A and B are shown apart, each in its own frame.
Chain A
Amino acid sequence: MPFLNNLFGNLQDLISSWLAGFLPQWGVDLAMMAITTVALLAFLVVVVMYLTYLERKVLGRIADRPGPNRVGPLGLFQPFADVLKLIIKEATTPQGVDYPTYILAPILIVAPALLVYAVIPFGPRMVPTDINVALLFVVAISSVATLALLMGGWGSGNKYSLLGGMRAVAQMISYELPLAFAFLGVVLVTGSLSLVKIVEGQPGYPLALAQPIGFLIALICVVAESNRAPFDLPEAESELVAGYHTEYGGVRFAMFFLAEYIEMFTGSAMVALLFLGGWRGPILPPYVWMLIKVYAVLFFMFWLRGTFPRLRVDQLMGLSWKFLLPLGMVNVIVMAFIDKLHLPGGFLPGLAASIVILAVAGGVVRIGRRSPAVRTARPGLRVKEA
């Protein structure tokens, strides 16, 4: 059991001691880095492939149908068929594209999505680099994807793509702020930006219990950040065809797809690390716990997609700026006080305070709805008579 608990750490020791037999120290370091990177990338690609399968199965069950079940037993080879199809498809370039931007976007979107995995730990010794500002790194790098989305939307030379790209940028910038505030609450308690230290510095219970508001905000923002239903406006198919990736096909489309699913996985991993206690849990090895928690969050995202209609652009912005952001700010202040007061009772003071905040927020929303100015406004009516 102890061997299993530290399986990947032991493997690392084994390989590096074997390499040290015939390589100098810097060679061992370089080789280890390469091995870790390749292993991680392979892991991510497989994860994404089977995430699509899982999603389709879950959505299928929700919609009362079997989901993919043709390719292989239980449809398990479906992801391979999909990948193969995407790879052998001809990549067409429509006329009128802004070629450099058009071709760079799919590359630029995958790079940051993968880059954040340099600092995301899956277990005690399972992190490529444990830098002391890992959380900041993740938040900063994942915002780079915004640029790629805009490039895709602009470069395609298609109106739907442009609208999709603009929506994506507005949405991602808006939801990064409440997300950062939600993360801040955790940083206050654990006193570090390093993801490893955050997990180790957490008390014996998941922080979601002590900071439920932060947890909920993070959950909502993660769904919004990865452009998933009910926040999938940038690619809202009933309005914008496919949004910023309308004009992409084959491998280029696959890159957008890959990035979206990796971002989903990243977001779920961040929620699991910060609010669900990361890899900590009884009996099972740490990395198994980590994956269980990540997949629990992912399942929640699938569930949302299977059930909820989509929000409208202005409602989406309103939710972030008028509700989540102020709520996040209040949450950070209250959590800071609770942390400094050193109240007894574990997570109970935090939970109680959160319930009070939510009740007040609910009341404010209710009063706001009742004011007639908001209720009957028919948005900017300017009728041009034909």
Chain B
Amino acid sequence: MLRTETLSINMGPQHPSTHGVFRMVLTLDGERVVDLVPHFGYLHRGIEKLAEGRTYLQNVPFTDRLDYISGMSNNLAYALAVEKLAGMGPMPERAEYLRVIMAELTRLANHCVAIGFLLNDLGAFFTPVLYCLRQREYIVDLFEMASGSRMTPSYIRPGGVAGDVPPEFLPAVRKLLAQMPSFIDQLDQLLTGNEILMARMQGVGVLPPERAVALGVTGPLLRASGVPYDVRTAEPYSVYGQLDFDVVTEQGQDAYARYLVRIGEMRQSVRILEQALARLPEGPVMAEGVKRIRPPAGEAYARIEAPKGELGFYLVSDGTPNPYRYHIRATSLANLGALRDMCIGHLVADVVIILGSIDITLGEVDR
């Protein structure tokens, strides 16, 4: 046997496929990963500390900037936490349905981005990602219609939503829903059966269900390991309890299964959106008297199924208008915990795919 040395290689923070400013130090034996040390914090903005100096309402815009791909979902999780903390009663029906519509649109947009960039990491030169981003564009246009902003909506707020949607919003959503299934089919046709894609992703980044649960992984990552856990059904919030949809699971436990779960969830989101649109009642979109939120001393934790997994906000109040402590259970950070486990033993090329299949946003990892 030849005596060989391991090679230590630094991937990031300026590497093209680390999805932002994530950095990994890889120890390689040839091209095989022996060890992986993730480094993050390059995008740390101290949001949790900043929040302590601001009122509950002023904190809403910060949540947009966590996972900036899915701002609406972050708003929703935060709003739920504040409502729980302040003990606000049931929100107006219309507001709840609008929240669900926005959250599911966000899921569609997020999965578009996740699949597109995963394919880019796989080396498909920009075609799938551009198809996906085109589709996402229609969705962020809807967000702009409702909130005036494409990526940082701050639309869902404690007490309801910022304002009613304009009259042209609902027809636009229906139009999007009409063409969304054909887009998903197109994506499915182009990618799912592709020989190279399957060869690259099957058996790559295997995460057994026990390990996934032990690491606290959630979202598509967990469901791709065969665990049918979804906060929307496990602990229904908003009006999800009244809607009919399936929790998509796959048994593959690998990157390919994660891709399939995302495709399946996009189909389910379309289903949810259709029901929500059909049931959307008339009425107010903001609860009465939430101008000044001054929750009693205490603590609350609220969680939702964000597109990337379980997103939770833990708030502690000391009775003042500002939160005493504001903690985010960031989905991407928790899911990143499984990275080293999944990567060891694979090739460098697989590391990129595994990272892509986790689907992280650095804004949320570093906060």
Interface residues of A (CB under 8 A from B): 59, 62-65, 159-160, 163, 229-230, 232-233, 236-241, 305-315, 375-376, 378-384, 386
Contact = CB atoms under 8 A, between A and B. Distances in A.
Given A238-B121, A309-B123, A379-B32, A159 B347 contact: no
A312 B203 contact: no
Given A310-B122, A311-B196, A382-B29, A239 B203 contact: no
A159 B9 contact: yes
Interface string B69-113: 000000000000000000000000000000000000000000000
B16 A241 contact: yes
B7 interface: yes
A376 B203 contact: yes
Contacts of B318: none
Given A238-B16, A309-B194, A229 B123 contact: yes
Given A378-B203, A380-B32, A239 B352 contact: yes
B345 A380 contact: yes
A65 B125 CA distance: 13
Given A163-B31, A315-B199, A64 B130 contact: yes
B120 A238 contact: yes
Interface of B: prevailing SS: mixed
A382 B200 CA distance: 21
Nearest to A306: B127
Contact of B35 (A62, A159, A384): A384
26 contacts: A63-B131, A64-B130, A64-B131, A159-B7, A163-B348, A233-B349, A237-B16, A239-B349, A306-B125, A306-B127, A307-B127, A308-B123, A308-B196, A310-B196, A310-B200, A310-B349, A312-B349, A313-B31, A313-B349, A378-B206, A379-B32, A379-B347, A380-B345, A381-B344, A384-B27, A386-B37
Contact of B130 (A65, A232, A383): A65
B16 A307 contact: no
Interface string B267-295: 00000000000000000000000000000
A386 B35 CA distance: 8
Interface of B: 7, 9, 15-17, 27, 29, 31-32, 34-35, 37, 119-127, 130-131, 134, 190, 194, 196-197, 199-200, 203, 206, 344-350, 352
A273 B119 CA distance: 35
Contacts of A229: 123, 125
A314 B348 CA distance: 11
Nearest to A309: B122
Given A232-B123, A239-B352, 19 more contacts: A229-B123, A230-B196, A238-B17, A238-B352, A239-B17, A239-B348, A306-B125, A307-B124, A307-B127, A307-B190, A309-B122, A315-B200, A376-B203, A379-B345, A381-B344, A383-B344, A383-B345, A384-B27, A384-B35
Contacts of A62: 127
Nearest to A383: B344
Contacts of B350: 312
Nearest to B351: A239
A165 to B, nearest CB: 13
A74 to B, nearest CB: 20
Contacts of B31: 163, 313
Contacts of A160: 9
A384 B196 CA distance: 31
Nearest to A167: B31
Nearest to B120: A238
A63 B127 contact: yes
A378 B7 CA distance: 21
A233 B190 CA distance: 22
Of listed A159, A308, A309, A313, residue having the most chain B CB within 10 A: A309
A49 B45 CA distance: 46
A94 B39 CA distance: 26
B193 to A, nearest CB: 13
A315 B202 CA distance: 13
A76 to B, nearest CB: 22
Contacts of A233: 349
Contacts of B346: 379
A312 B9 contact: no
Contacts of B196: 230, 308-311
Of listed B119, B124, B125, B199, residue having the most chain A CB within 10 A: B125
A160 B199 CA distance: 24
B127 A381 contact: no
Contacts of B127: 59, 62-63, 306-307
Of listed A310, A375, A380, residue having the most chain B CB within 10 A: A310
Of listed A62, A239, A240, A306, residue having the most chain B CB within 10 A: A239
Contacts of A65: 130
Nearest to B29: A382
A308 B194 contact: yes
Contact of B349 (A236, A241, A378): A236
Contacts of A236: 123, 349
Contacts of B126: 59, 63
A309 B16 contact: no
Q: Which 6 A-B pairs have the closest CB atoms?
A: A310-B123, A309-B122, A238-B17, A381-B345, A63-B130, A309-B124
A310 B16 CA distance: 16
B62 to A, nearest CB: 31
A175 to B, nearest CB: 16
B296 to A, nearest CB: 45
Contacts of B344: 381, 383
A59 B130 CA distance: 11
Contacts of A311: 196, 199-200
A306 B29 CA distance: 32
A314 B347 contact: yes
Contacts of A313: 31, 347, 349
Contacts of B199: 311-312, 315
A29 B76 CA distance: 81
Contacts of B17: 237-239
Contacts of A386: 35, 37
A307 B15 CA distance: 23
Nearest to A381: B345
A57 to B, nearest CB: 14
A378 B122 contact: no
A386 B203 CA distance: 24
Contact of A309 (B34, B134, B197, B348): B197
Nearest to A379: B345
A236 B197 CA distance: 16
B35 A309 contact: no
A382 B34 contact: yes
Given A64-B130, A379-B346, A384-B34, A305 B121 contact: no
Contacts of A383: 344-345
A139 to B, nearest CB: 27
A376 B29 CA distance: 21
